[in-house]
Amino acid sequence: MRISICTKILLFVTTITAAFAQHSPASPGPHNPSDIDGAWIKVRWSEDGHYYHNMLTREDRDELPDHLYQCNEDLISKTCN
């Protein structure tokens, strides 16, 4: 079976894009640990409950890291520290 040159080019571009477009977590960059600790927000699920999201590192957790204070239940979309 013959494959056209256009198909070969499209397959090559798709393969290269897939190889280099892998998602990786954001690096800490110029942020110090106190900036990272202060970037946690509480996000409510649509039904019930919540999780915590760090806006700098893009990390999601069910609970805050142990060294941070727990947020109030009514606090949402505000820094938890």
CA distance 67 to 52: 14
Matching residue, tokens 């946690």: 40
Tokens coding 55: 């806006």
- Per-domain residue ranges of the chain: 33-81
Q: Which residue has the tokens 């820094």?
A: 79
Q: Which tens digit of pLDDT belongs to each residue from 29-79?
A: 688 888 888 889 999 998 889 999 999 888 999 988 877 754 444 444 444
Of the pLDDT bands very low, low, confident and very high (cuts 50, 70, 90), residue 81 is very low
Side chain identity, residue 18: A
pLDDT of residue 33: 82
pLDDT of residue 74: 43
Dihedral angle of Cα 70, 72, 74, 76, to the nearest 10 degrees: -30
